[in-house]
Structures are given as structure tokens and as C-alpha cells.
Amino acid sequence: MGKASKQNTEIVPSVAEEIRVTPLQLAEMLVQTPDFEVKVGQKLVIHGLHVNDFLAAVAASEWQKKLQVLMDAFKQFYLEVSLEGSISLGEFNLADHAWTLLPGQNGSFTIRARPTSVKKTVNELVSFLNLLPVGQALSLKPKQDLLISGLSSDAMLEFYRFCQENEGGPAREKEQDKLFASACQTLSLKHLSLRIYGVNAVQIDRTIDVASGGILFRVLGNDELKAPSLIITLLPTELPQNS
């Protein structure tokens, strides 16, 4: 949910600058500017919330659960939202299904957004990439994560142990090829490798999630590389030598 800290709800000064948006308007703003800051002297009023989200937020007994309702509401816009900073929970308004959020005593808070993760199996990715012209890759949106699911727990744990014991990039890449090939017979039959690269990126983080049966690939940038993205492609492997 991010590093949001809640402060006691305070009376908002009448001079506070009101930023009044619907969930759709805020989502459109976050697509253009993924980091949206609400500063001291401002208040964010989100109105026109879906009645189910509005009632769920009102009924939630803990402030973390109230904020989680709000963040979950943005999944309909294909955005994963987190909140960071100092937040004061303001009033709910039944008339227009509005909720007011304010900076807490410690300063401002920031709403951060990134596109929802793409979740596909190896077979699904390979089937799609096989339809593309040779050498063409699938490019994800900037900062969009990729969850490759449908992998066996034993295969993922073996890959994890290998990565712990081997730091070299080429060695890990070959082991990853084996992992994907074990989940997709087409790769072995056509002598192909499913490869994932970063563009305008510092690195790619891989997180093994046994519960979901997959590996999450997250591309990381920095202050200079602010829009890193993942590309997915098929590359030919070396044909086996005849003995």
C-alpha cells in the first residue's frame, strides 16, 4: 500500500486549496504524471466514487482498510496505486459520494501509480510472439510489471537456488531459458528462447511468487531513466550438434 502514515483528522481551514476530481479524472492525471503530490494547504476531494467503493470505505473499521478500498478502486482503470507520506482522513459526503484526503501534520502525501501487471503463462506469450514477424518484440507500457505464471513450484525453487549460487547474468539467463522451456514444449521443439529485456532501464528485478505460481519481472529506472519498460521476444537457440 506504500508508506502512508495516518494522522488524526483535523478541521480543514477554509482557505485550503481544493483539488476536486472524480476517480476517472484522477486516473487520467496519474497516467500523465505517475506521481501526484498533495501539499500542505491543499485538500484532495475525490467525488463520484462508485457506491460500492464509497460504502466500503465508510464501513471499514481501520484507516488502512479505508485507503485500500480507494486504491483497489483504481484497478478498473488498469492502475496500481500506492500512497506515501503523511495523510489525514477527511469527511465523507453522501450527497456526491465524495471523500476528502488531506496532508497530515508531517507534511504532504503523494499518490503513485503504475500500470497493472501483465499476467501471462509462458505458453500464452510464446503463442502470441509466434504470430509476430521474426525479430519483433512485445513492448509493455513504461513501468509495467510482468507476472509469468503457470510455473511449477519445484522448477521455480530450483531456479531460485541457482540464482543464489550464481551471480553471472549469462548463467542466470541460460537457467531461465531452461525454466521457461520446462513450461512450454514449443520452445524446445522450435529451438527458441523466451527473453525479457529492459529498455531505458537500470535493471530488472525478479521476484519468485510460489503462491501465484509465477515470477514477477519489474523494471527499474532512476532520475534520468524515468520511463523504463520491459520488452519480450523470442530468440533462436543454438541447434544441437550431431554426435
Tell me the CB-side half-sphere exposure of residue 204, using CA atoms within 13 A: 22
Q: Report the distance separating Cα 243 and Cα 100, nearest Å.
A: 72
Put simply, whether the predicted model's pTM sits higher than 0.95 gets the answer no
Pair 214, 148: CB distance under 8 Å: yes
pLDDT at 243: 40
Q: Which residues pair with 207 in a beta bridge?
A: 216
pLDDT at 119: 94
pLDDT at 106: 73
pLDDT at 169: 75
Scan for cell 531513466, then name that residue.
225
Sketch the domain layout of the chain as residue ranges.
Answer: 4-115, 118-236
In a structure prediction context, what are the per-residue pLDDT tens digits for the chain, which is 243 residues long? 456 655 444 444 456 799 999 999 999 999 888 899 999 999 999 999 999 999 999 999 999 999 999 999 999 999 999 999 999 999 999 999 999 999 988 789 999 999 999 999 999 999 999 998 877 899 999 989 999 998 888 888 888 888 888 876 788 888 999 999 999 999 999 999 999 999 999 889 888 887 777 899 999 888 788 889 999 999 998 755 554
Quote the radius of gyration of the chain (alpha carbons, Å): 22
pLDDT at 3: 60
